[in-house]
Chains A and B, each alone.
Chain A
Amino acid sequence: MGIPGKWPAACPTTNNPVGVALTALIEVRNVSKRFGQVLAVDNCSLKVERGTITGLIGPNGAGKTTMFNMVAGAFAPTSGTIWLNGKNVTGMPAHELFECGLSRTFQIAQEFSSLTALENLMVVTGPRSEESLFDACFRRGKVVRDELSVRRKAEEVLKVLRLTHVRNECAGNLSGGQKKLLELGRVMMADPTVVLLDEVAAGVNRTLLNDLASVVETLNRERGLTFFVIEHDMDLIARLCDPVIVMAAGTVMVQGPMAEIRKNPEVIEAYFGGGTAMGRAS
């Protein structure tokens, strides 16, 4: 299953102090995030190694969504630094992170409703967004060439995701599952170095979940694409992710393969509801 060619990454150069180990693709160092009095993330550090599918789990209120959104550039941390590919990307907005090769999907699929499925993919024109009205009007040749390559790539991605039959359908009218697949298609169009998957299983039936998981596995295996997955569905985490990072009360509790995590009494207790057992004579 051939995946279309790769565009050169074009990340804005930021300072990278010498001596930083370049193994980890994403590195979060002593990051904290405070919303008013609530300390959602408390001096937390974690790494996402290159080529892995790293899972991030934890009970509600553990701070995993806040951590995920900070890595995805939704908002900046109160303190601490975030590194992508050896570059300090702390507080960098999402569209610049995209140019550094970071793509993301959303828990509730975000599609361009009045554009067709094909155009939803063709919006992704590669790392640097250089569309201009001047080119469209006066440099027809360049535009036609670019359009052709983007369109061919989009058609291939639609074929891989078995969405070709809805290529001219407005994205707004697609089913929930098709919208999720389309979003994954946008990620494939961007040829990123790392993909952040935000609760990909939310509101998706079993068969479609199987398709999504197999696409992720194929991209990881064939293209060495790194994934950072935040998820509630433990079975999907078990199938896809190694290692799995467990967050609780704003910091990383433990990290390791899912089989170990599942048996770790501390993790079970964190999920099952820690704090003093406030029993009652039944």
Chain B
Amino acid sequence: MKATMELRTASLFVFLAGVVALIFIWQGNAYALRMLAEAGCLAIVALGLNVQWGYAGLFNAGIMGFIAIAAFGSMLVSYPVNPVFWQSEAPGLLLRMGVVVLIGGAVTVLLSRIHRYGVPRRIRTLLTVIAALATYMMAQNALTPAAGIIEQNSGFIGGFGLPVGLGWLVGGVFAAVLAWFIGRITLGLRSDYLAIATLGIAEIVKAFLKNADWLTRGTLTVSPLPWPVPTASEVGFVAARSAYLSITAVLIVIIYLLLQRGWASPWGRMMRAIRDNELAAEAVGKNVNRRLLEMFVIGNFIVGVGGAALITFGGIFDPSGFLPINHTFLVLIMVVLGGSGNNLGSIFGALLVYVIWTMSEPAALILFSHGAGWLRDVFGIAPPDDLATRALQMRVFVIGLTIILVLRFAPKGLLPEKIVKYE
């Protein structure tokens, strides 16, 4: 059985390489390199989702939220310093708000523990809710003046001008911290509740980033995001993009190797055991809830790093540019099609799906323009003017259809999970 698996993997990758070569020829190097670089970043995100979904069986429908918060983190760290902001008294006000939030938060957490000292649960919950609301109101009052000042004179708080690589890591940490909070609330619940909770949090993160103008310039977007390698303006598109691609390739290889080592190790075995049967795992001494939280955090850290790389490549931090279809469901289909539980499968899925996703745009345009021409000649019906934008929607339909086809005919994916065997 092992041989056919190797052959299958090799043949699939060869087929993919052939398709990419064709695209290089058809669309030219710059376009193809851009596609590959973006596919590379999405492969990292797919690896992160595979850790949550393939290893631990946690269904995360809020990948967009984790990518967004990580991209914000990376922008915050790597964007050049905004001197005007630091001279104004805004940092002082923000500090005051931070202190208020810290004290309020501490009081709330303390109150939520007092039921251990004989205080009845009902009063404990009431006090905790009141404390939380009070903290929220105080923070709101402290924030509004500060935000006002920042927006008036310095635009937004700007970044810290640190190296981009550090930015990506900090972005990953932001996503991991967000995952920790959601995980604490929802991990005890069934998988479709986790799906709903993560779907919700993604929309909330997007709404926050879109409206916190003092932090992210909101809909005015922040650009140009600094690149870890010389940008296109300095060395031309092809060189810049191939350099960026090589960095993402290196990242993919590192993450892949580490995750592969984890897969067959005691840690990976424990995770697969928990995924298969939580009751039995608990009975052999595994703290299931803590471990699931650990997986959710690690998975989303990797999603964060990949997301930060993706948005940095785009060069613009535009909160309203995060769409569930492009960021959550596209990655989901990459892992499901590639093969959940198989890291190589996730990488392959990422490349294949992204090729289909990008190529379906020019293909649809050609198809529709011919169709419209034929329609006009035969029936004399004038095609709608925004034909191009509509052709784009064809991709959304194709991705939706692919999900159904995969679930029906290849539920385990093209490169299914490899059973770990010891000869």
A93 at the interface (CB under 8 A from B): yes
A122 touches B283 (CB 8 A): no
Which residues of B have CB within 8 Å of A147? 265-266
Within 8 A of B (CB), among A90-130: 93-95, 98-99, 103-104, 106, 110-116, 118-120, 122-125, 127-129
Contact of B280 (CB < 8 Å), options: A110, A118, A133: A110
Chain B hits for A167, CB < 8 A: 422
- Number of A-B contacts defined by CB within 8 Å: 111
Q: Is the CB of A129 within 8 A of B270?
A: yes
Specify the main secondary structure of chain B where it touches its partner.
helix
A136 touching B266, Cβ below 8 Å: yes
Closest to A98 in B: B285
State which of B89-97, B106-114, B197-205, B271-279 sits at the interface with chain A: B271-279
Contact A123 B269 (CB under 8 A): yes
Residues of A contacting B269 with CB < 8 Å? 115, 119, 122-123, 131
A143 to B258, CA, bound (A): 14
Tally of B interface residues using CB under 8 Å: 30
A190 near B284 with CB under 8 A, answer yes
Q: Which residues of B contact A112 (CB under 8 A)?
A: 272-273, 276-277, 280-281
Among B127-135, B233-241, B381-389, B413-421, the one that faces the other chain is B413-421
B266 in complex: contacting residue of A110, A131, A186, CB < 8 Å: A131
B284 touching A124 by the CB < 8 A rule?
yes
Query: Which residues from B are CB-within-8-Å of A114?
Result: 272, 275-276, 417, 419
Q: What class of interface size applies to chain A in its complex with B?
A: 35 or more
Q: How far is the CA of A277 from the CA of B331 in the complex (A)?
A: 69
Instruction: Tell me which residues across on chain A come within 8 A of B420, comparing CB atoms.
Output: 115-116, 119
With A99-B285, A103-B283 already in contact, the answer to whether A143 and B265 are too (CB < 8 A) is: yes
User: B residues within 8 A CB of A98?
Assistant: 283-285
Which of chain B's residues have a CB closer than 8 A to the CB of A124? 284-285
Say yes or no: is B392 at the interface (Cβ < 8 Å to chain A): no
Which residues of B come within 8 Å of A, CB atoms? 258, 261-262, 265-270, 272-273, 275-277, 279-288, 298, 417, 419-422
- List the 3 shortest-distance A-B pairs measured between CB atoms, nearest first: A136-B265, A98-B285, A110-B280
Residues of A within 8 A of B (CB): 72, 93-95, 98-99, 103-104, 106, 110-116, 118-120, 122-125, 127-129, 131-133, 135-137, 140, 143, 146-147, 150-151, 167-168, 170, 186, 190
Give 20 A-B contacts (CB < 8 Å), ordered by A residue: A95-B282, A98-B283, A112-B277, A112-B281, A114-B272, A115-B273, A115-B419, A118-B422, A123-B281, A123-B286, A128-B285, A132-B267, A133-B265, A136-B266, A143-B265, A143-B266, A146-B266, A147-B266, A168-B421, A190-B284
